[in-house]
Amino acid sequence: MLPVFIASECVNGESSSIAIDLIRGGSSASPFYKVQQSFHQQRFDKFFQPRGLDLAFPVQASNGQYIARISIGSPPFEFHGIVDSGSDLLWTQCLPCELCYNQTGPKYDPAASSTAKALPCQSDQCKLLSSAFCAPDESSSVCNYTYGYGAGLSKGVLLSDTLTFGDDPVPDVVFGCARNTTGNWAPESMGLIGLGGGPVSILSQLSDKIGGKKYSQCLVPFKTDPSVTSKLILGGEVSGDDVVLVPIVPQPDPTFYSVTLSGISVGDKLLPFFSNGSQVNKGNVIFDSGTPPMLLPKEFRQRLIVELRNAIPITPDPSSSDEKLCYAGKNNVDAPVVTLHLDGADMPLRAVNTFVEVSDGVYCFAVDGVDGEGGIIGNFAQSNFLIGLDWDKKTVSFKPADCTKEEA
């Protein structure tokens, strides 16, 4: 989920990691159910090598997004936020709310938390944000923020409060108290958790506690059985046989996990990123967990559709067109492997990554076309991979895995 603009943005001295379960909507582990969590929440610990304290909290998948459950404040207030590696700010709708979207759960009330603190405009935390501002009519001179996305807008004040992961509290974490939100936000979410590389992201704020500015994940595919959960671990790493690395390309905006995509193969047919063979810009695509489909330039996407039509030996669904490729069946289409050729390694995508069920028995190509010369590797493509994103080493590491299995 790309931010459009930003107006503001050790336990006992030892590093540890923070484990986050990613829960499918409707799961027995969902925050909207009162029964015991399923065993799947524990299945990935051995892959991500948590060191020291394991601060676990669940995250549910809903309509193509992954929603984390943590707690804010004292006493703890349960918060469900969309996990988004394409932005930095953690924010939640809070009281008093002037214009908020309709969310399923209650709103955070900073007045009810004994550890909540407003941030003055001249504070170091406020100065971390490029365009923090003070409202001229506010005598308290608190740090205001505005944070925009392609999907909407969050406006409010910056606070610090205690965040609790499982049973373990972390004091003085900076986040946005949103009092004006616009856009199409999932009602079961209360806000968003930015995991980008900027200074205000919780990944940056907690880096001393989790052993580095990094995290790892294994996302279950879209429409997996709701009882099966995913996991994300702040401070985690991916290791073992068959793990490959691609370099993160630094950008002026420190938020993004930018890598270089030179082309894509459909089966054995290689399609360069640009049809005229021009060189791509370094860091032309980003890994973004907050965007479900892959996004590619329209002309490149159209070439992929042509090759997939030729490679899949069944007639497309009647809903298909020149701009849309869908197939009907009881199971997903038997599509060829679609391989992303990244600088340093290849990323082979199976049908579960490239076609998603949009209605009963209809599976459509999970890539959208955009204007411009860049793209996004969204969470559909990231599912069923063990992925480690590491700002300290400036690498993205990954290996194919069945994220629905305890043994991946």
Sequence-separated (6 or more) residues with CB below 8 Å from residue 13? none
Q: How far apart are CA 189 and CA 25, in angstroms?
A: 11
Distance of CA 312 to the CA centre of its chain: 31
Report which residue type is found at 94: C
Sequence-separated (6 or more) residues with CB below 8 Å from residue 337? 265, 267, 348, 349, 350
Q: How far apart are CA 290 and CA 324, in angstroms?
A: 22
Q: How far is CA 326 from CA 157, 293, 297, 362, in A?
A: 44, 15, 19, 7
Map 271-283 to HEC letters.
Answer: EECCCCCCCCCCC
Q: What is the DSSP string of 351-378?
A: HHHHEEEEETTEEEE-EEEESSS-EEE-
- Which helix or strand (DSSP H or E) is residue 47 part of? helix 45-48
The tokens describing 169, both together, are 């509290």
Q: How far apart are CA 119 and CA 193, in angstroms?
A: 19
Catalytic residues: 84, 288
